[in-house]
């Protein structure tokens, strides 16, 4: 697939969630490919986009030919996406690419499956990207970054392994799919090149930073107590704990070939990502 020619369609590519973990990199890659980009989010100007304010939709969609979608990230995500898909169909959007999640989809998480089904309702001009856990979780999310800085990472993941993927690889796949044919009606599962036990991932960070950082496996209830003690609502804490126990049970350790299939190259390795991140001082206490 990576050898397909760019489709040369007219009109900008809409990137929803353009300031997020993948969205900002999607914008970068699209511009490198020479695409006209309309980058929107709730706080962007002059054009903003809010899933819950349909008055923002016309300006965002006007004249666009394709869209990268990061959903509303809550219990209303599927309903909002379904409404947007119907709106987009009447305004000339011919290609929709949704960021999903491999672990959630594989586990049968109802909200994620409903969101994917909402996109499939758009006909054949959709593509779904299902990445594994982002490497950037260790650098951009306090859920993992804060414990690394503190020197102790307590997770209910046991000895389970995760094939972390670089969000920049996911973004490059998205940009390629948005600008090339041959991906319609396809689900691309995206992982890194190898599955790392969480203890090894943490040790990789410790070696790169020269600081003592240790991994401790805890029970799901202990982890929920840790999170609620940090101010996380209990329902959210239990949801996150369930994701880590999915890793603990080995359900997310398999590799997926989507990055290689679309880009024609291997995905970035966690060790290289960590070396690059450590040089920025992101984990300095």
Give the per-residue pLDDT at 7: 57
**175-196: per-residue pLDDT in tens?**
999 999 999 999 999 999 999 9
Question: Shortest CA distance to 247 belongs to which of 193, 199, 189?
Answer: 199
**Which residues, listed in sequence order, are joined to residue 216 by a DSSP beta bridge?**
154
Q: What is the pLDDT of residue 110?
A: 65
**Residue 5 pLDDT:** 47
Residue 190's alpha-carbon distances to 3, 4, 99, 100, 187, in angstroms, are 18, 19, 11, 10, 10
Residues (pLDDT < 70) of the chain are 1-9, 105, 107-112
pLDDT of residue 183: 96
pLDDT of residue 113: 82
Q: Give the pLDDT of residue 4.
A: 42
pTM, entire model:
0.93
Fold of 13-135+165-191+255-267: Rossmann fold (3.40.50)
């Amino acid at each position: 697939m990576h050898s397909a020619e760019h489709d040369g369609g007219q009109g900008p590519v809409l990137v929803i969630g353009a300031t997020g973990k993948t969205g900002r990199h999607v914008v970068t890659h699209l511009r490198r490919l020479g695409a006209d980009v309309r980058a929107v989010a709730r706080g962007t100007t002059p054009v903003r986009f809010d899933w819950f304010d349909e008055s923002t939709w016309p300006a965002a969609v006007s004249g666009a030919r394709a869209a990268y979608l990061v959903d509303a990230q809550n219990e209303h995500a599927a309903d909002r996406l379904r409404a947007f898909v119907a709106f987009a169909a009447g305004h000339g959007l011919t290609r929709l690419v949704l960021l999903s999640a491999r672990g959630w989809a594989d586990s049968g998480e109802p909200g994620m499956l409903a969101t994917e089904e909402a996109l499939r309702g758009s006909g054949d001009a959709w593509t779904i990207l299902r990445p594994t856990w982002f490497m950037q979780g260790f650098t951009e999310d306090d859920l993992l970054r804060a414990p690394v800085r503190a020197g102790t990472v307590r997770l209910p993941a046991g000895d389970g392994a995760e094939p972390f993927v670089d969000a920049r690889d996911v973004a490059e796949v998205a940009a390629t799919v948005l600008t090339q044919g041959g991906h319609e009606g396809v689900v691309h599962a995206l992982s890194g090149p190898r599955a790392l036990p969480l203890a090894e991932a943490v040790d990789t960070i410790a070696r790169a930073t020269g600081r003592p950082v240790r991994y401790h496996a805890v029970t799901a209830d202990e982890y929920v107590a840790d999170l609620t003690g940090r101010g996380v609502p209990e329902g959210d804490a239990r949801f996150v704990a369930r994701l880590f126990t999915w890793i603990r049970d080995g359900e997310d350790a398999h590799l997926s070939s989507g990055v290689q299939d679309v880009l024609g190259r291997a995905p970035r390795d966690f060790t290289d990502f960590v070396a690059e991140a450590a040089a920025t001082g992101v984990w300095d206490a």
